[in-house]
Structure 1
Amino acid sequence: MNEYRRTNATVSLLNYHFVFCPRYRRKIFLKSEVEQRFKALVYEVCAELKMEIVSMECDKDHTHLFLHALPTLSPADIMAKIKGFTSKKLREEFPHLQHLPSLWTRSYFVSTAGHVSSETIQRYVEQQKTRG
């Protein structure tokens, strides 16, 4: 895991933990092909924005995303890009999602993580499916 990101003269360690849900907490990730495609789309967006995904996991009705980001992007910008792109693409590609005017709620949870707690958050995100 890259611990510090360098941009010009700036060295940064910005780790964000995001949690967001589909509208009405719809269980869109029950179909594994939706989850797989969602993850591929998130990787695509993050690569374009030069962000590193540390961990990503989906549960039936929400997703956790833990990533390293550049200081030039705010959490709101990151969510707008990820949610906008994935909503558009998933609704185009999956007929059962086409009737939704938007896929995601407007809200999301975000927290920052320092170096000490990063591993804890990563384990938490990766264990989402195994929790009882």
Structure 2
Amino acid sequence: MLELRSFSHGYGQITYHIVLVPKYRYSIFYNKRIKKDCELILNSICMEKGYKIHAMEVVDDHVHLFLEFHPSTSLSKVIQYLKGGSSYRLFKLHPEMRHQYWSGSLWSSGKFYRSIGNVTADTIKHYIKESQGKTKTEAQS
């Protein structure tokens, strides 16, 4: 179970399942060196930016990330850093990739993301419905 964290002005949790897909859905990660370098680079970017990786899987034609990050950081910025940073570093390590990705961008422009939490949508709806109009003390009991 994921733990709630305390921040300077709040308490909570921001976790997402993010999927990054290479342009044209090429299976570039079948190459074990490129796959390993992608894992190391994404780990490095997450450490630099303060993102916590709960899980990561690099498969032949896409990458799954289960990330947690500070609430002041927008999801679009997180994805921008991951895509931009990894693309730049992978092209630097593997210049031969430029033959497949002649446009200079490794990742497709689209993205998949889903917020992840410890409770279901029904639990949230029930909580909101039951605490509606109650005082703070009544809602906690």
Provide the TM-score with structure 1 as the length reference.
Answer: 0.82
Q: Which moved more, 1:92-101 or 1:24-33?
A: 92-101
SS of residue matched to 1:107: coil
**1:53-77 deviation digits (Å, cap 9, x = unpaired):** 0000011101100011110111111
Corresponding residue for residue 108 of structure 1: 111
Report the Cα offset of residue 47 of structure 1.
1.2
Report the Cα offset of residue 30 of structure 1.
0.4
SS of residue matched to 1:18: strand
**1:8-52 deviation digits (Å, cap 9, x = unpaired):** 132221110001210000111001111111111111111122110
**1:64-112 deviation digits (Å, cap 9, x = unpaired):** 0001111011111100000000000101111321232110011110000
Question: Unpaired runs of 5+ in structure 2?
Answer: 121-141
SS of residue matched to 1:55: strand
Q: How far apart are the structure 2 equivalents of 1:112 and 1:71?
A: 12
Question: Unpaired runs of 5+ in structure 1?
Answer: 118-132
Provide the TM-score with structure 2 as the length reference.
Answer: 0.77
SS of residue matched to 2:109: coil
Query: What letter corresponds to residue 4 of structure 2 in structure 1?
Result: Y
How many residue pairs match? The answer is 117
Counterparts in 2 of 1:1-132, with a 5 A limit?
3-99=3-99, 100=101, 101-116=104-119
Q: How far apart are the structure 2 equivalents of 1:43 and 1:4?
A: 22
Q: How far apart are the structure 2 equivalents of 1:30 and 1:88?
A: 19
Q: How far apart are the structure 2 equivalents of 1:36 and 1:47?
A: 17
SS of residue matched to 2:66: strand
